[in-house]
Amino acid sequence: MKIRHSEHREQVALQMTPMIDIVFQLMVFFVFTFKITLPEGDFNVRMPAESGVAAVPSETPLLKVRLRADEHRNLAGLELGDVQITGTNPFFELQSKIRGMADDSAGPGSVDQEVEIESDYNLKYRYVMNAMTAITGYIDPATGERHKLIEKVRFAPLSARRE
Amino acid sequence: MRFASRQAPGAEPDMTPMIDIVFQMLAFFMFTINLSTNETDQRVTLPASELAKPPDAPYDHPLTIHLTEKGEYIYAGAALANLAELRSALLREKQIIERYAVEKLEDVTIVIRADEDAQTGLVQEIIQLCQELQFERFALRGKQSEVRTVSQ
């Protein structure tokens, strides 16, 4: 028996038009909602309003970091407690000192130290962010791992008004 | 003289390459779409920090306050010239939260997006103002940086 080959293959024309319509609609939507956003991150600070005297006196004394501004609103001086921090990269020095002080050998988050940042009114905010970075942690240059130092940071109450 | 109207029988353009490209683009835009309702503002250049990390979970009730380089506050899309205006706006927000929302005021996170060249004192004033209104949680926002800002 001979099977007849149906050479006569019919061209099934797919209806492309509706699909392309929808695809274009979708593409226009996504193109218009496309927004380039740089990744942002937060420093979380818990600063309840102080009700007179501190309720629970902490065992560890409060560390004070003082930032001074020059006339161009740049950083003029950095102090940790009574110690003046100098050098070309004061924030790195600050971080090294805090690393020496905050013994995080018991594991991350084991440090129960509190830092108060006191800054001149006119200082550029970026220096405060640098100080926050130096205080709260560091990234191990070898492994790229993130280590926490002192998490509890607060601002000193504003005393010096704008001059 | 008459021309015979030329009817191209079924001369369809080849759609395949176009559809390929369009699907590629569609896939790209679909994967890069950012649905997070991050409140950003072009007027603010955030200070860079390698440790600024995005929150693990979205905040329950974030309130974003922007502070521009010129010392202008932006809250809820409106530019406010001074602290008194910000205060009244936040007071209204506080009353709404107290009256209608289930969250407590302590659970509200004040996200502060201050410009890197803004005066620190103004940031502190914002914090102080929020403290007076019994807000407790603050998030100081910075832009993530690959370059170490604190290193030798």
Report the alpha-carbon distance of residue A96 to residue B10 in Å, rounded.
Answer: 77
Contacts with B128 from chain A: Cβ below 8 Å: 157-158
**Least confidently predicted of A9-18, A47-56, A91-100, A153-162:** A47-56
Element (DSSP H or E) covering residue B109: strand B108-114
**Least confidently predicted of A61-65, A124-128, B128-132:** A61-65
As a whole number, the mean pLDDT across chain B is: 85
Contact A133/B149, CB-based, under 8 Å? yes
Q: pTM for this structure?
A: 0.77
* Pairs of residues, one from chain A and one from chain B, whose beta carbons lie less than 8 Å apart: 181
From the list B25, B53, B138, the residue facing A41 with the nearest CB is B53
B103 in A contact zone (CB under 8 Å) = no
What pLDDT, on the 0 to 100 scale, is given for residue A53? 47
Average pLDDT (B19-28) is 92
A109 compared with B90, residue with greater pLDDT: B90
What pLDDT, on the 0 to 100 scale, is given for residue A163? 43
What was the ipTM of the complex prediction?
Answer: 0.78
Contacts with B31 from chain A: Cβ below 8 Å: none
Annotate chain A with DSSP letters as a single string: --PPP-----------HHHHHHHHHHHHHHHHH------EEEEEEE-PPP-SS-SS--SSPPEEEEEEE-TTSSEEEEEETTEEE-SS-HHHHHHHHHHHHS--TT-TT----EEEEEE-TTSBHHHHHHHHHHHHEEE-TTT--EEE---EEEEPPP-SPP-
Contacts with B124 from chain A: Cβ below 8 Å: 119, 121, 155, 158
- pLDDT, one tens digit per residue, over A36-68 is 777 888 888 888 776 544 555 556 678 889 999
A113 in B contact zone (CB under 8 Å) = no
A16 in B contact zone (CB under 8 Å) = yes
A147 in B contact zone (CB under 8 Å) = no
Q: Which residue, chain included where needed, has tokens 């970075």?
A: A133
Contact B134/A49, CB-based, under 8 Å? yes
- pLDDT, one tens digit per residue, over A4-43 is 555 566 777 778 889 889 999 999 998 888 877 778 888 8
Q: Is the pLDDT of residue A108 over 60?
A: no
Report the alpha-carbon distance of residue A90 to residue B106 in Å, rounded.
Answer: 35
* DSSP-derived pairing of the beta strands B73-75 and B137-144: unpaired
